Amino acid sequence: MASGPAAALSSVRASCALGSRRNLRAVLTGSALLLWVLLPAVATGSGATLFRIILKDGTAVTSYGEYARVGDRIVFSMPLGSVTAEPRLQLVSLPVGAVDLESTERYADSVRYARYVETRGEEDFAVLTGEIADVLNEISRTADAAKRLQLAEGARRILMEWPREHYGYRSSDVRDLVALLDEAISGLRAAAGADQFALSLVAVIEPPTMPLLPPPSLAQTIEQALTVARAADNSVERSLLLRSVIATIDESARELPPIWARITRVA
């Protein structure tokens, strides 16, 4: 999309016929998020989104799907094995003190943004530009100056709120549309006889920029599980995790370097 008010207006008008009026909102409450984390151990397929739990020492371990914070614990499903097939999933909980929460959430924002861009970003943006185009058309058909101003300011509020609710997707294009409306609102205020200007200067949210890591290899999932076992403060969880590591090594012996597998299993 080209920059500038004229190009933005052209894009708004062209988008009138694009997409449907669907407005899909994926809302994850704390309880729903916990349920999502608990279910993968028995019910997930191979298409789960891979998050990362960043430990205090900087190590990034894989979470198979969303993680949850439950009290003073971080709960997630850790994959053991090939993440492109059907990995063995181990439910893990770590103390919050072992996790770099800020980096973990920043990474999660980047994952969610990438997933949103891949699945729904363009469709939702087409709906937005269609809504703004409808408002502009209504303004052009309205004779009452005060009503025209009200419509334009309402459209501006929609634009300012949209990036915050959509991971900052196409925020630069939203800024172009806001600039376009600001010009129009200035003229509409003068036509309506308004002598005060009170436009909100709320900053448009930018998309997350933390780079995503590639999916872990089979050996890397094992190494990550060993790292988590060392960080675990519950002996029962640690024992279960180490038993899962041994089982994974035994089941995947042909896919692992023999010497590495033997040393890791003994350790």
Token digits for 34? 């916990």
Q: What is the mean pLDDT of each run of 10 residues along the chain (267 residues)?
A: 40 35 28 35 55 96 95 94 85 94 96 94 95 91 89 91 92 89 84 62 78 94 94 90 94 92 92
pLDDT in tens, 235-267: 898 999 999 999 999 999 899 999 999 999 998
Between strands 73-80 and 68-70, the pairing is antiparallel
Q: With beta carbons less than 8 A apart as the criterion, state whether 111 and 96 touch.
A: no
Q: Tell me, what's the pLDDT at 198?
A: 53
DSSP 149-166: HHHHHHHHHHHHHHHHHT
Q: Tell me, what's the pLDDT at 261?
A: 93
User: How many angstroms separate the Cα of 67 from the Cα of each of 25, 31, 91, 110, 236?
Assistant: 19, 12, 10, 14, 20
Q: Tell me, what's the pLDDT at 20?
A: 31
Q: Tell me, what's the pLDDT at 42?
A: 33
Q: With beta carbons less than 8 A apart as the criterion, state whether 65 and 40 touch.
A: yes
Q: Tell me, what's the pLDDT at 221?
A: 95
Domain ranges of the chain: 10-19+120-192, 30-115+212-266
Q: With beta carbons less than 8 A apart as the criterion, state whether 192 and 145 touch.
A: yes
| Cα 69 from chain centroid (whole Å) | 17
